[in-house]
Structure formats: C-alpha cells, structure tokens
Amino acid sequence: MAIPFFELENATVYRGERIVFDRINLRLEAGTHTAVLGPNGSGKSTLVKLIFRDIYPAALPGSVMRTFGNELMNAWELRKRIGLVSADLQHRYMASVTGRSVVLSGFYSSIATGGTQEFSDEDQYAADRALERSGAVSLADRRFGTLSTGEQRRLLLARSMVHNPEILLLDEPTAGLDMNGRFAFFDLLDGFLDEGKSVLLITHHIEEIPPGIQRVILLKSGQVFADGSPSEVLKPDDLGRLFGRNIELIERGGFRYAVPESRSTPA
C-alpha cells in the first residue's frame, strides 16, 4: 500500500470563527500525482496551510492529522521534504534578494540566505541545474523585486526542486504566467512526473491539470465532492455541480478545457 505523506482523519478545521473542514477524511499518497481542484473558497489554501503545519485541526476527540506518518513533526524537517511553489511564498521575498539567493534559500526552506547558512560547491551546482531546468539562468543575478510575476515564479520553481524534495506542492503554479511560461511549466512538470517525484497540484483551473496527473480530488465548501482518476472525476456533470454552472469539456492531447455549455456548439 502506498505511503501517505499527509492524512486527515475526522478533522475539523476553523479559520477564525468559520468551520472550513467539518470532520474531513483525506489521504494523500506519495507516488500518486494528485490534483486538488475547487472553486474560490472551497478550502484549497487551508489544505496547503495544514500540510505545512501553519494551522492545525481543532483538538477534538478522534481528530487526527499526520504528515509522513507522524502526528508531531518538526516544521523545518517537513519543509525539507516538500518543495513549495505558491503566490504566498512569492510575496514573502524581499525585493533586493538575487535570483540565485532565492533558489539557494530552498536548501534551508527559508526566504533568505545569509547568517549561518553555508552552501557547498555541490549546492551551487544544484542551484545552477535548477535554474537551467526552470529556464531562469538569466535571472540568477537580477534582484527579485525587478522581475515580472512569471520570472519570479520560475525562480520559485527552481527553488522548489533544488534540494530534491520527495513531494512538490504546486499551489496555482501557473498564475501570472503567459502562454509560453505555462507551456514551459507543463514540460517541467512532465520531467518531475517522469523522475518519480510526487506532485500535488492545487488549482481552480481544469485546463491546468496535465495528463500525468493520476488522481483528482474535487473540493466543494470544505468537503471532498469527488475523488478518483481524472477520467472518473473530470466529467461535465460533476464539474458543473462543483462550479455551479453548466459546462462542456473539450479534450485534447490529454488536457481538458471547460467551456460554458451554451458556447460550445455554434448556433
């Protein structure tokens, strides 16, 4: 049986006064590339925060959260094992840091380099390789604050892979990327999938779920609305109910595109 890297059992999660997850059960397994798809407010960011132990479920009887099999886990240890790309992370970097520092900071799961941090030749080589793979070599000496959103995102992708984590958690990774950036990202993702890394992709967009994804979880109002293979789950009826409108799906090259039902067939 595949090993779960994250489990929630009967977990109730509050954000402020609001219950976001109400006795939810969820297992995310290493070795299965998974996408979590849901509309605004469905609980995706809350899930990411739980995985990174920025927040915890309410301490209720029978409520359990485990990461890599542990109920307790040092957050820094955990961050070494999961590479993250997210807009939140992007906003936390200072404008003055260089692209190379952003990538190297991945070794310490920090948002800055300096202090007692040391980088071996091997680390520098890994940073070069990650910069190459994410098409960001020319950004290595640029200041983060002078880069476009898409350029910053490329550096975060390099950062997420530099320390060779087991899991890549990609939270809306293509937000702000132009078409070339998105296509380059899909190529990169194919590489991750082939290398045996486990990818957890969080998205609002059906068309961002690449063919290599094996499991799709639909989240709706803090509940698992559907869970299965892409062909089981990504169906017009279920997606229509998830997003609250009728849609049609167009499939091409392993990707699926949603179009409003009335627009899919010309009159």
Ligand X SMILES: Nc1ncnc2c1ncn2[C@@H]1O[C@H](COP(=O)(O)OP(=O)(O)OP(=O)(O)O)[C@@H](O)[C@H]1O
- What whole-number distance in Å separates Cα of residue 122 and Cα of residue 128? 10
46 binds ligand X (CB under 6 A): yes
80 binds ligand X (CB under 6 A): no
244 binds ligand X (CB under 6 A): no
Q: Which is nearer to ligand X, 104 or 200 (CB)?
A: 200
Identify any residues that bridge with 57 across adjacent strands, giving them in sequence order.
none
Residues 6+ apart with CB under 8 A from 72: none
- What whole-number distance in Å separates Cα of residue 9 and Cα of residue 87? 28
Burial of 239 (0-12, 13-18, 19+ CB in 10 A): buried
> In the complex, what is the shortest distance from the CB of residue 205 to ligand X, in angstroms, rounded to a whole number?
10
252 binds ligand X (CB under 6 A): no
Residues 6+ apart with CB under 8 A from 36: 44, 47, 200, 201, 202, 203, 216, 217, 219
Q: How many CB atoms lie within 10 A of CB 215?
A: 18
Identify any residues that bridge with 40 across adjacent strands, giving them in sequence order.
none
Q: Which of 4, 10, 15, 176 binds ligand X (CB under 6 A)?
A: 15
H helices of the chain, where?
44-51, 75-81, 87-92, 99-104, 121-133, 149-162, 179-194, 230-233, 236-243, 261-264
- What whole-number distance in Å separates Cα of residue 207 and Cα of residue 216? 13
> In the complex, what is the shortest distance from the CB of residue 143 to ligand X, in angstroms, rounded to a whole number?
28
Q: Which of 5, 24, 34, 45 binds ligand X (CB under 6 A)?
A: 45
Closest by alpha carbon to 2, among 34, 28, 35? 28
41 binds ligand X (CB under 6 A): yes
Q: Which stretch binds ligand X (CB under 6 A): 34-42, 149-157, 174-182, 243-251?
A: 34-42
> In the complex, what is the shortest distance from the CB of residue 18 to ligand X, in angstroms, rounded to a whole number?
4
20 binds ligand X (CB under 6 A): yes
254 binds ligand X (CB under 6 A): no
Q: Which of 24, 33, 34, 44 binds ligand X (CB under 6 A)?
A: 44
43 binds ligand X (CB under 6 A): yes
Q: Which of 12, 42, 101, 113 binds ligand X (CB under 6 A)?
A: 42
Would you give the binding string for ligand X spanning residues 180-209, x where CB under 6 A is met?
A: ------------------------x-----
Binding site for ligand X (CB under 6 A): 15-16, 18, 20, 38, 40-46, 204
